[in-house]
Amino acid sequence: MTAENPPTTESSVMPVAAIAGIIATVAVFAISQGLSYPLLSFILQRQGLSPAMIGVSAAMTPLGFIVSSFFIPALSRRFGAARLALACAAFAALLLVAIATWQDVWTWFPLRFLLGFAANPLYVISETWMIAMAPPARRGRLMGIYASIVSAGFAIGPLTLALVGTEGWPPFLVGIAAFVLCGAILIAVLPRMPEMQDEKQPTSVAGFVLVAPLLLFAVFTAAAFEQALLALFSVYGEAYGSSEQRISALLAVFIAGNVALQIPLGALAERFGAPRVMLLCALSAAAGCALLPMLLSTLLIWPVAFVWGAFAFGIYTMGLIQLGEKFSGAMLMTGNAAFALAWGTGGIAGPPFAGTVMDLIGMEGLPLALALLCGALAVGVIVSLSSRRSMAG
């Protein structure tokens, strides 16, 4: 079924066990993904590879995300979402075994691409199930919990390397075990998962761009913002005299705000509507960009960075909430696949865009580029809200 504002019936009993299982599945998977990125970079660095080659190798995983997005709806209809998710978890574990066995940069190119190709359906299917099971009155808080825990999983991944190191099989075994655990949790919760109904004329991922361009631009903005900041904040901070330790600590605070404040933002969305809170997030993220040059060397930068991270990623959380409000069934699956495509595209495009602006006007190009993205999104949301009011009138 394709539906704008689909009819909903909120059950008095929320499927708590099923929702907890899905959140646990994606959290474990995020830990493995968060571990693999720095681990493989450390290994390539020890092999003497250039930063450029390490970066190109790392880009293979998001490229796999992008390419797989076009196939997820059709594969889900052909094999079923449950079977596809289980197959992807098993395939990802095998790929990590192969990556650990053949530690060669050229072999890793196709393996890392396939790892992204296998990982993406797990996120898409899990988010689709989460949105489908979340009662409308609680969808904001539940998606906030989901976003917070997934973000925490990505943050925990690199921390595990401090415990097991980056040499030999131990770090890979942690990642492989996480993939296996992910599959085990899936098997336990699959009987409780909702079925995604087929459509007579299912919309493709490319066609979804025409259906919800503003939502996809919001996802693109959130990904571009996050990846550009993570990639270039060290360059920006060092240019203004900040030490590597201080820069790393600020990025950690940025991520901590992302993790901590998604639930309150979700509660705000339930009360005031996700579009209005998305506008708040975009404007607040742009305000953080404007404040960055003035506050970078002061103590105020710490609380500002904490809130800044929350609002920047909150754009994505608000997008998920609106996706659940507007679509259902197979269209919801297609929309989540389109979200994955937009996220991958934004993640790849964000750093080069911000870097080019920095080359043109200097270090202040980083906050300016990020503010331009958020400003463009804010304008789009304002126009959309105005159009709704006009139609209602």
Interhelix angle 329-361/365-392, nearest 10 degrees: 140
State the pLDDT confidence band at 13, using cuts at 50, 70 and 90. low
Q: Are 207 and 33 in contact (CB under 8 A)?
A: no
What pLDDT score was predicted for residue 241? 85
Cα radius of gyration rounded to whole Å, the chain: 20
Q: Which residues contact 34 (CB under 8 A, 6 or more apart)?
A: 153, 154, 155, 156, 157, 158
Report whether 203 contacts 329 (CB < 8 A).
Answer: no
The answer to whether residue 5 scores a pLDDT higher than 70 is no
pLDDT tens digit string along 366-377?
999 999 999 999
**DSSP letters along 133-178, please?**
HS-GGGHHHHHHHHHHHHHHHHHHHHHHHHHH-SSSSHHHHHHHHH
Residue 375 burial class via C-beta count within 10 angstroms: exposed 0-12, middle 13-18, buried 19 and up: middle
Is pLDDT at 280 greater than 60 in this prediction?
yes
State whether residue 357 is helix, strand or coil: helix
CA distance 257 to 312: 10
pLDDT-based confidence at 134, cuts 50/70/90? confident
250 pLDDT band, cuts 50/70/90, is confident
Collapsing DSSP to helix, strand or coil, 179 comes out as helix
The pLDDT of 4-22, averaged and rounded, is 60
* 382-393 as b/e: b if 16+ CB within 10 A: eeeeeeeeeeee
Q: What is the DSSP letter of 70?
A: T
pLDDT above 70: percentage of residues in the chain? 93
Between CA 333 and CA 126, with CA 60 as vertex, the angle to 5 degrees is 25
User: What is the predicted pLDDT for the residue at 198?
Assistant: 52
The whole-number pLDDT of residue 217 equals 97
Asked if the model's pLDDT at residue 271 lies above 60, the reply is: yes
Determine the pLDDT at residue 206: 83
Yes or no: say if 296 and 196 are a contact pair by the CB < 8 Å rule: no
What is the biggest distance separating any 2 CA atoms in the chain, rounded to whole angstroms?
66
Q: What distance in Å separates the CA atoms of residue 281 and residue 272, rounded to the nearest whole number?
A: 13
pLDDT confidence of 330, banded at 50, 70, 90?
confident
Residues 6+ apart with CB under 8 A from 393: none
The Cα angle at residue 199 between residues 197 and 200, in degrees rounded to 5? 145
**To the nearest whole number, what is the mean pLDDT of the chain?**
85
Instruction: Please determine, for residue 248, whether its predicted confidence score (pLDDT) is greater than 80.
Output: no
pLDDT band at 3 (very low <50, low <70, confident <90, very high): very low
59-103 per-position pLDDT tens digit: 788 888 899 999 998 888 888 888 898 899 899 999 999 999 998
Question: Averaged over 206-234, what is the pLDDT?
Answer: 89
| CA distances (Å), origin 325, targets 47, 152, 181, 270, 321 | 49, 25, 31, 11, 6
